[in-house]
Chain A
Amino acid sequence: MTELSAPPVKPPFWNNPQVRAILFQAVALIATVAFGLSIFENTQDNLQRLGIASGFGFLSSPAGFDIIQTLIPYSAASNYGQVFWVALLNTLLVSALGIVFATLLGFIVGVARLSKNWLIAKLALIYIEIFRNVPLLLQIFFWYFAVLRAMPAPRQSLSLADTFFLNIRGLYLPAPQVQPGFGWVLAVLGAAIVLAISMARWARRRQMATGQPFPVLSTTLALLIGPPLIAFWLAGSPLHWQVPELSGFNFQGGLVIIPEMASLLLALSIYTAAFIAEIVRAGIQAVSHGQTEASFSLGLNSGMTLRLIILPQALRVIIPPMTNQYLNLTKNSSLAAAIGYPDLVSSFAGTTLNQTGQAIECIAITMAVYLTISLLISLVMNWYNRRVALVER
């Protein structure tokens, strides 16, 4: 038998986890602060040496360069602050359109990947494996330099029904021209939307109370399409389409999608759709077949099963990674800088920085914008996630 004769040795204080924790944290904090301070001082010294005045005063000085795509009025006489807004709107435009197209394409490919049809499933698989494994920048370059920059000159444009034209200057579409009276159509449409929402709420309340279902979807469609169409006809079709026309060496009128925008949009949508397709597939596969069978045995038809049983459960799996992809797409839109689409990185962190030399301010503003977008979307998604999460006992 061993004897416990010796009194227990008190461990030295540096082995106490609480003391250690405080020590570690103090060291980490001091190191971080020291690092930050040294960077700050170096920066101050360097700025003084290079004669760069820091501050955001440069935002109100004239920019003096043109931007090839502006959503708000802008000219070379505008100031750098306006450059920022133009660039930000361009980033948001290409991101928003990219999200819409990538989602549509991704859902189609994801569902095709699960198709019982062998040929369709394999084609979807090939699409996913090709586009997922090639760098996005390479895809953007391919669309821009190999496809769109290789288009013919305006006089030899490729055309579809003499309405849509594709040439080296971009894609020309008919532009809608609003005539007086269109406001009425919009007003009727607004009223229809309000009516549809209140109808849906009423139908839901009634179903909760009495169990009587109401054909919400078809009624909504009828409400949204019917009255605005009648209003449109009554107001005398107040919308004209302005078709682009060749005059001289270029097209006049119509809506132009510049090749930079088109190639960025194509590459972003096709690339992100490959990831979204895999997310959609995983989400649908995550709902077990027993759910479908149970729903059928309760007497729900296939449409209701999809809408009430499968989709709510699949969306719970799909939405968080989908948001990640949307964020990735928004951040990836910064690759625009490589082909000169005037987005935030290209026009603001690029041209403005080079002209003013305000490196810290320009990069800080650009990063802050992306951080804000990321954090905002994260917040919204966390809130949504909590709402749809499984409520367990």
Chain B
Amino acid sequence: MAEFRLPHPDLPPPASTVGALGWMRRNLFSSPLNIALTGLAAYLLWVAIPLLLNWALFDATWSGDDREVCQSNSGACWVFIRVHFDQFIYGFYPEAQRWRVNIALLLLILGAAPLFIHTVPNPIKVKLGLGLLVAYPVIAFVLFRGGLLGLPEVETSRWGGLLLTLVIAGVGMTAALPLGVLLALGRRSTMPAIQTLCVTFIEFWRGVPLITVLFMSSVMLPLFLPEGMNFDKLLRALVGVTLFQAAYMAEVVRGGLQAIPKGQIEAAAALGLGYWKAMALIVLPQALKLVIPGIVNTFIALFKDTSLVLIIGLFDLMNTVHNATTNPAWLGFSTEGYVFAAAVYWLFCFSMSRYSQSLEKRLHTGHKR
């Protein structure tokens, strides 16, 4: 009779391939080169992290009202930020009127929040979105500017800080996207005159730096306009930023349009849809979905580019911070100021890029692997 043998129970995997040890062997010490690199990087971190933490947290000054309290500590002087905080957010907006800015911001948050919640039904989202696009700018403008409904007028030259940065970025984004879509459609058009106009427009704006555009809007625009007619400085910057980014947006959207097969347009035509309906209902929804990363990248670039209005003397977040660091009473805290401004810009840009990644995942309906 054959002897029945029980199989030997499975051996556990060697200790060096599982758990924390195995992970370290695989990811940190897999070859002599990697061991050296890990050692070098770990040494650099060992030196840099304590320096950084000591400067930013442990040796920093947090409370107080003037620069004298910072003399005793070797770390950062966050008092500088605390003292100037309101200025960084509102610029030279009159203190008594700042509630108007807060209300506008609150309205924006309340209005926009449902758009990001998945359970809200789509028709409500569409109505809210349209309200935000059409009604909100008017409400916000009236609130910020005043001069109506008994609100005292606050001239645009007194808007500043993060408020101004957000105004420029918001207006730029909402205006540049539709303009960019139109330009992209024009560039793909079969009408030679329209196509030439659009190509010239796009290539011109894409070929010059934003600074020269802003210079142009501040020194050349007054020459172009009839005598006596003049634009607000902020409006000129807004026009410059919008036209500039619309050209970049147009190229991004064109990429999406080119990726939609011709059969889609032909099918739309066969169903009896005209050009605009075919574009609005069939082509653009697919094309725009494909280029979400590109659109958000353009938005991020626009947000960062708002800092350039410093060149023409508008007091956005960047300029307000820079201005505060050159204040004779607070000299020597430029590092703190720039780190603060960088953190604010970083927060906005980074969250935009993360949101676009999640949106891309959600709208991903099986075109890609």
- Residues of chain A touching chain B, judged by Cβ–Cβ distance below 8 Å, are 21, 24-25, 28-29, 32, 39, 42-43, 45-47, 49, 115-120, 123, 129-130, 132-139, 141-142, 145-146, 150, 331-332, 334-335, 337-338, 345, 349, 353, 359-360, 363, 366-367, 370-371, 374-375
Contact = CB atoms under 8 A, between A and B. Distances in A.
Contacts of B226: 42, 45
B338 A120 contact: no
A145 B324 CA distance: 13
Interface stretch (B9-17, B56-64, B118-126, B304-312): B304-312
B310 A25 contact: no
B341 A118 contact: no
A134 B304 CA distance: 7
B28 A46 contact: no
Give the 7 A-B residue pairs with the shortest CB-CB distance, closest first: A133-B349, A25-B193, A118-B27, A374-B207, A331-B209, A135-B304, A334-B209
A138 B338 contact: yes
Contacts, number: 150
Interface string B242-284: 0000000000000000000000000000000000000000000
B286 interface: no
A116 B30 contact: yes
Contact of A367 (B208, B311, B325, B346): B208
B345 A135 contact: yes
Interface in B335-362: 335, 338, 341-342, 345-346, 349-350, 353
A367 B212 contact: yes
Which among B209, B216, B349 has the highest number of chain A CB atoms within 10 Å?
Answer: B209
A374 B206 CA distance: 8
Given A21-B190, A133-B345, 7 more contacts: A42-B223, A42-B226, A43-B223, A138-B341, A142-B342, A332-B209, A359-B220
Interface of B: 27-28, 30, 34, 37-38, 41-42, 190-194, 197, 203-204, 206-212, 215-216, 219-220, 222-227, 300, 304-305, 307-308, 310-311, 318, 322, 325, 334-335, 338, 341-342, 345-346, 349-350, 353
Contacts of A45: 226-227
Contacts of B308: 137, 335
12 contacts: A117-B34, A120-B41, A123-B41, A133-B353, A134-B342, A136-B304, A138-B342, A138-B345, A331-B209, A337-B311, A345-B215, A349-B215
B212 A366 contact: yes
A25 B212 contact: no
B192 A130 contact: no
Contact of A141 (B37, B227, B322): B322
B311 A338 contact: yes
A277 to B, nearest CB: 15
A371 B210 CA distance: 12
Contact of B37 (A120, A129, A366): A120
A364 to B, nearest CB: 9
Contacts of B210: 331
Contacts of B197: 28-29, 32
Contacts of B350: 129, 133
Contacts of A332: 209
B198 to A, nearest CB: 10
Nearest to B26: A116
Contacts of B42: 119
Nearest to A373: B207
Which among B204, B207, B227 has the highest number of chain A CB atoms within 10 Å?
Answer: B207
A24 B191 contact: yes
